[in-house]
Amino acid sequence: MRASASPPLTLPFSWYSDEELLRRERARIFARSWQYGGRAEQVAEPGSFLATDAGGIPILVTRDRAGELRAFLNVCRHRGAVLLEGCGKRATVQCHYHAWTYDLDGALRNAPRSEREPGFETSEWSLLPASVGTWGPFLFVNPDPGAPPLVEHLGDLPETLARDIDIDNLVFHSRVEFGANANWKIVVENFLECYHCPTAHPSFSEEVDVHPDRYLLEAHPTYSAQFCAAKGTGDRGQFHLLYPNTGLNVFPGPPNLSIGPVLPHGAGRTERYLDYFFAPDVDEEWRRGFFAFDDQVGREDTVLVESVHRGMAAGVLEQGRLLLGSEPLLAAFQGWVAERLAAD
């Protein structure tokens, strides 16, 4: 008798509540990956800056006086203080702790009392560089200064998205911040399947055709894609995860797009924000209804992911079983994570 094949299993549930594993993820995934950091317009002018986050790693993006876009670790070389918050314009970057001052190109300009220190060379204590890139109105950062170009990580995602929306014709509307008491991977994995939609999202399932033969899923080397259509109108939508943690949503209907990162704040807490963009002529009444709809779906998802985290953290099960017909994107994402955690 031929032995049956091993069932496709999830990652170990212990991986979702282990602080030591999160430190490894930060070092092997977030410190080496492209992630959404904000809007390109925020650093469009010389002298502008944007402080952002890359999976718990503070990043500072600047447009220096020569007009070059730069990125650095947003950490003072003296004692490790985070240098700046928010965004704006300034001539220099000064640490609020001991007033070490850097130019917008990262060079250390002044360290008070350093002249009393023999052998102190300001050129040796510049801000550590990171990588930065733009895609249309979107700004991406990568803590790795030697990262491959953003365009390589995007792959064919820009062409896929362009089937349904012109990102260069979108205007930023607002940012919505939210979070959940759940591991970041649980939040990502919930985003990667609509198997739960008929049960947990009745309003979404009433508007969107979630039949498994028509709600289409595609795994790509650097992102996962979901394609759907609205019932009745046939308007198309797309939902993407750009690995490891950037979600991108285009709902069926008037031109709309939201984008934002899934950010770990401890093994049991995830913070999120979404930047919302619309075409200039989108009706305000439709937009109000859209935000109410999106908020409802988001609240339903928060209940789900927090329930999953509590169950996993209880330690009563080692792992679960995937249904590859409905959860292929989970399998792809979990394989991507496991591969990077296993790397030297």
Helix (H) or strand (E) holding 251: none
Largest CA distance in the chain: 81
DSSP one-letter code for 208: B
Helices (H), 63-178: 150-154, 157-162
Domains of the chain: 35-146 (2.102.10.10), 152-342 (3.90.380.10)
How confident is the model at residue 288, as a pLDDT? 98
Least confident of 5-9, 32-36, 96-100, 271-275: 5-9
Do residues 72 and 127 touch, judged by C-beta distance below 8 A?
yes
Do residues 237 and 146 touch, judged by C-beta distance below 8 A?
no
- In the chain, % of residues over pLDDT 70: 99
Q: Which two tokens stand for residue 281?
A: 């002529």
Rounded distance, CA 139 to CA 38, Å? 5
Rounded distance, CA 331 to CA 151, Å? 25
pLDDT in tens, 22-57: 999 999 999 999 999 999 999 999 999 999 999 999
Query: pTM for the full model?
Result: 0.96
How confident is the model at residue 167, as a pLDDT? 98
Q: Respond yes or no on whether the N-terminal peptide bond of residue 255 is cis (omega within 30° of 0).
A: no
User: What is the SS3 assignment for 149-206?
Assistant: CHHHHHCCHHHHHHCCCCHHHCEEEEEEEEEECCCHHHHHHHHCCCCCHHHHCHHHHH
- Average pLDDT taken over every residue of the chain: 97
Q: In the predicted model, what is the mean pLDDT of residues 160-182?
A: 98
CA distances 37 to 15, 195, 261, Å, are 26, 30, 8
Q: In the predicted model, what is the mean pLDDT of residues 106-119?
A: 97
